[in-house]
Amino acid sequence: MEVITRGAVIPEPGNSVENKTGTWRVFKPIIHYEKCIRCLICWQFCPEPAILLYEDEETKKKTPAPKEPLKRLPVVEIDYDYCKGCGICYNECPVNAIEFVKEEK
């Protein structure tokens, strides 16, 4: 994209991905997959969105789960490039699978 466009138009959809808002983080959510029941509530409520959904068999299978059948379900991963550390995922997780720890810089 040129430095200046006519009328301040931004022709590149979603190019805010260039802003790595992960630098804002003070607290950091960490998913403990051995507890995660893959309910997707954290994905549902992430305001960035910085929780990515993986549906490919490889990721689903290789990610640990409390019970083997859960590995059939899509799994999430936190994208720390964008996670601002609001903690909604940690607060809403129904099985306390997300830990919220002070960010180490």
**Interacting residue ranges for other proteins, rule: CB under 8 A:** 1, 3-21, 24, 44-50, 53, 55, 79, 81-82, 84-88, 90-92, 100
CB within 8 Å of 2: residues ≥ 6 apart: none
CB of 5 to other proteins, least distance (A): 8
Judged by phi (left if over 0) then psi (alpha if -120 to 50, else beta), residue 8 lies in: left
CB of 104 to other proteins, least distance (A): 18
CB of 35 to other proteins, least distance (A): 18
Of 66 and 73, CB closest to other proteins: 73
CB of 67 to other proteins, least distance (A): 23
Of 37 and 66, CB closest to other proteins: 37
Of 48 and 66, CB closest to other proteins: 48
Of 12 and 34, CB closest to other proteins: 12
